[in-house]
A and B are shown apart, each in its own frame.
Chain A
Amino acid sequence: MSEAKPALKPAGRGRNLELSEELKAYKGVWVFIEHERGHAHSVSWELLGEGRKLADQLGSPLCGVVLGGPDENLDEFAKEAHTFGADHVYIMRDTVLNGYRNEPFTKGLTDLVNKYKPEIVLLGATSQGRDLAGSVATTLLTGLTADCTELAIDPNTRALAATRPTFGGSLLCTIMTLAYRPQMATIRPRVMAMPRADAERTGTVSEDALGLIETNIVTKLLDFIADANSNKINLPYADVIVSGGKGLKNPDNFKLVFDLARVLGGEVGATRPCVQAGWVEADRQVGQTGKTVRPKLYIAAGISGAIQHRVGMEASDVIVAINTDPNAPIFDFAHYGIVGNAMQVLPALTQAFQAHIDQRIKRVA
């Protein structure tokens, strides 16, 4: 998080941009803690890490909010939230909150916001977080900024300055909610760094009741079919990603990308044009309209580095780019660049890594 540049006074055009006295009382940064099937989503911890910085800057407490069923491990999630920086965790426990459904979760989060009045509410931009954030913001009639890549506090207004890519990632814009509270934002998994957990850290917990019974909820959750592990593509949390672009010329050459990824125990990514051409599955798309990734190693083969792709992978620790065009924009943000034909370089890299790892294993054995 960086200090936001003071915003230019936005054109009011008859619009109220001042915060009322009543809304000035809204205090605290909240992070919605998302969980499914007994596991908290890592994005919740990433947001606590980011929320901690915002809360410290504002001098406000950082709170987690967790909603779920009585048989779910909500207390564990609360404890974990404390280790990642939350001062307090609000818990709402009810049988109707077993498994995510829009209606009871919207009521739960909306009621908590109305009761405890936080100034900022952050949610993961997941299928759950986006569904919930849009519903809660509309119910509360407040501002919501989707898919933010950077959060800061505007020094002039103390408002949340939420920066996000726009127009398919060609430009960035900073958005603020000045006259309404809370200020809401969603952030995609892996956009913010995972904070270090402090096992010693503790905090407070409180419980509120939802006050909604099953017969009054229209939508029923009949079943949940978990994805089979074998065909799950977990791009956002992969340590190594080898990605291909249109520079690979044809879908068959993607085999070379898969070969290198296999040797590195990594995942295969792709650019939007490759996905649109049907060369690889949509789940492999890296970029503004695909997945955001931050692996230890990202190898980009035949990728020019359009901004739409860049915003999804520039947080990677080490970026290696292979491209025939020495002026390709990807060389502006890669750490290592090879000007050459990916169809020749990829097999050479595969061989080198394979030999090196084999040798190291032999040495260990």
Chain B
Amino acid sequence: MHIVVCIKQVPDSAQIRVHPVTNTIMRQGVPAIVNPYDLFSLEEALRLKDKFGGKVTVICMGPPQAEEALRKCVSFGADDAVLVTDRAFAGADTLATSYALAAAIRKLNSEQKVDMVFTGKQTIDGDTAQVGPGIAKRMGLQLLTYVSRIVETDLEAGTITVERRGEGGVQILKTALPCLITMLENTNEMRFASLPSMIHAAAYQVRKWNKDDAGIEDISKIGLKGSPTVVSRVFGPTPRSEKAEMVNLEASSLRDISLNLLQSIFTVHPTLEQDLVEKFSA
């Protein structure tokens, strides 16, 4: 079985700071990590490999330094790693990204037939959750998003049954391979990389593909040219005009503060008090 896992190298958004004057992202010193959502998909792919044998290929579109993120995935147990990198990809939105990744996965498929593709549920920098569905549509793969559990995989019949988190419940879906899966977060836990695998990963030759290697001929479909969306403005959040009404803790007792606050809240929001009384008298 050949499983392809798409990953992205992202800045650790928990550590991002915005320059207060210029409103630009200050990237200096912000560590680059593998998008955390991708790791749930990678772990699930590795579990399938543990069970059925075969090969896991990780693929990433990004700048040359994204090689490090792929190496990290190799240390966890991925067998092959491909970095799709080309200046022509710059400025790609999700539509152009799915085009480039779909082309590269087709190329991988020509080397060895791909049975499943995994992507993260979304990234932590873009948060769009659009590239997974985009790749599935472009490749004609069955799409299973927000999967919380793989119930059964039948390689002979070429089918897979999963639990998918829907609105207000869980769907049990059965589909045919090849398919594209995005895993829900916290559905598994990434294994530890052993010392030998880390050494193996450090020396691993990540394959680097430019647009031609990835089989892309039509450059109007990639990068900025292939992106229908246009970013017209980037700005910081505006502060609210009036600041909070501050209650001084030293000047009065906690009980007085609580009572005053409660009165203020119920004055501003009279229906809330009525709702609470009705709720608790019932």
A168 and B258 contact, Cβ closer than 8 Å, known pairs A36-B168, A219-B174, A221-B171: no
Contact B166 A168 (CB under 8 A): no
Contact B16 A170 (CB under 8 A): yes
A138 and B98 contact, Cβ closer than 8 Å, known pairs A219-B142, A338-B249, A356-B262: yes
B184 to chain A, nearest CB (A): 9
Q: Does A98 sit at the interface, judged by CB under 8 A?
A: no
Contacts of B255 in A (CB 8 A): 348, 351-352
Flag B109-134 by CB within 8 Å of A: 1 or 0 each. 00000000000000011111111111
Q: Does A115 sit at the interface, judged by CB under 8 A?
A: no
**Cα A352 to Cα B192 with chains together (Å):** 49
**Cα A356 to Cα B134 with chains together (Å):** 54
Nearest B residue to A281 by beta-carbon distance? B186
**Cα A297 to Cα B129 with chains together (Å):** 31
Q: Which residue of B176, B259, B273 contacts A352 across the interface (Cβ within 8 Å)?
A: B259
Q: Does B155 sit at the interface, judged by CB under 8 A?
A: no
Contact B234 A37 (CB under 8 A): no
Flag A229-250 by CB within 8 Å of B: 1 or 0 each. 0000000000110000000000
Q: Does A137 sit at the interface, judged by CB under 8 A?
A: yes
How many residues of chain B are within 8 Å of chain A by beta carbon? 90
Contact A10 B231 (CB under 8 A): yes
Interface size band for A: 35 or more
Contacts of A146 in B (CB 8 A): 126-130
Nearest B residue to A161 by beta-carbon distance? B232
**Stretch from A56-64, A73-81, A191-199, A357-365 at the B interface:** A357-365
Residues of B45-77 contacting chain A, CB below 8 A: none
**Stretch from B1-9, B78-86, B205-213, B237-245 at the A interface:** B237-245
Contact A361 B281 (CB under 8 A): yes
Contacts of A344 in B (CB 8 A): 254
Q: Does A321 sit at the interface, judged by CB under 8 A?
A: yes
Contacts of B129 in A (CB 8 A): 130, 134, 146
- By secondary structure, the A interface counts as mixed
Q: Does B156 sit at the interface, judged by CB under 8 A?
A: no
Contacts of B224 in A (CB 8 A): 13-15
Contact A170 B17 (CB under 8 A): yes
Q: Does A333 sit at the interface, judged by CB under 8 A?
A: yes
Contacts of A165 in B (CB 8 A): 127
Flag A124-150 by CB within 8 Å of B: 1 or 0 each. 001110110111011101111111000
A135 and B277 contact, Cβ closer than 8 Å, known pairs A143-B229, A289-B124, A331-B246: no
Nearest A residue to B163 by beta-carbon distance? A225
Contacts of A307 in B (CB 8 A): 237
Residues of B177-195 contacting chain A, CB below 8 A: 185-186
Most buried by B among A36, A130, A337: A130
**Stretch from A83-91, A174-182, A206-214 at the B interface:** A174-182
A339 and B276 contact, Cβ closer than 8 Å, known pairs A8-B233, A142-B228, A352-B262: no
Q: Does A106 sit at the interface, judged by CB under 8 A?
A: yes
A220 and B244 contact, Cβ closer than 8 Å, known pairs A106-B137, A135-B137, A144-B94: no
Q: Does B18 sit at the interface, judged by CB under 8 A?
A: yes
**Cα A308 to Cα B262 with chains together (Å):** 28
Q: Does A116 sit at the interface, judged by CB under 8 A?
A: no
A296 and B13 contact, Cβ closer than 8 Å, known pairs A106-B137, A338-B247: no
Contacts of B124 in A (CB 8 A): 168, 289
**Cα A353 to Cα B14 with chains together (Å):** 35
Contact A99 B171 (CB under 8 A): yes
Contacts of A311 in B (CB 8 A): 237
Contacts of A361 in B (CB 8 A): 277, 280-281
**Cα A141 to Cα B172 with chains together (Å):** 30
Contact A10 B272 (CB under 8 A): no
Contact A218 B176 (CB under 8 A): yes
Contact A333 B276 (CB under 8 A): no
Flag A257-271 by CB within 8 Å of B: 1 or 0 each. 000000011000000
Q: Could you list 13 examples of A-B contacts with CB < 8 Å?
A: A17-B230, A102-B133, A127-B164, A134-B94, A154-B232, A168-B125, A170-B18, A221-B173, A289-B124, A317-B269, A337-B243, A338-B257, A344-B254
Give 3 nearest A-B pairs by CB, closest first.
A134-B133, A168-B13, A352-B258
Additional A-B contacts beyond A134-B137, A138-B134, A143-B228 (12; CB < 8 A): A131-B143, A141-B228, A143-B93, A166-B127, A171-B236, A172-B237, A218-B176, A336-B264, A337-B245, A339-B249, A349-B261, A357-B276
